[in-house]
Structure 1
Amino acid sequence: MVIRHHVEGYEEFLKFMDKLQGDGVIHVLFSGTKLPDGNSWCPDCVEAMPHIEKGIKAAPENSHFVYVEVGDRPFWKDQKCPFRTDSRTKLNVLPTLSKWGTQKRLEGDDCLKDELVEMLVTDEDD
């Protein structure tokens, strides 16, 4: 079973990932912060969630799935947003699903393709 985590904001994300490092396969989903209705402000993220949820079910036993809320829309749209500028994340698009510690990631519309999501989460070649 996949171990799920939820993190809000850049600083919390860094602290969390430092503690989690070296602890098996880690997949990270970067998404816009959730609104009071429970959905992200990012419509592309909302559209991608069912596909990501379906794909994550195929991830290896005891792998980690970290859902990261990057912030509100103005914070994300700022080109100096730390999620954009940090060499570990280098985000350009929301949603982004990545295999942490590798260059493997799906961005934007690729997160809508069930077969690509499943391929990313089941890939064992590094």
Structure 2
Amino acid sequence: YEQYPGSFDAGGIVNVGSCVSNAHISGAAIKIASIFARRTLRGNYEEIADYVYNRVGAVGVAWGAMSQKAAAIASGFWRLGIPVVVGPHGTKYRRMLLGRADKKEDWYVHDRRTGEQVYVGPVP
């Protein structure tokens, strides 16, 4: 706790409590995209997720035994572009990350800064 403060700032680690409270992390990430990037939230999930993935330094950690509720929260995080670190029990939920790695055209994203299409490889 001395090396990584609990402040909501770069380099900080914030323990938000139980698994239900962790859903507030995704809400905060969405609000960051709304405030700093001035993006509208209504019907704009793809652009918000792209901003969160590229600009917001949030990470979810789900270590230990996970309930289906915790797994649902984790899948909501990685759908939003927030990386999630799972423990050994996370292998039970690996089927939620299915994708067609053989279809290369599905793994391109739009880089808003440069305006070009970028290949990102098979990622959640």
Q: TM-score, normalised by structure 1?
A: 0.31
Pair member with larger Rg: 2
Bigger share in strand: 1
Q: Looking at both structures, which has the greater relative contact order when contacts are Cα pairs under 8 Å and sequence separation is at least 6?
A: 1
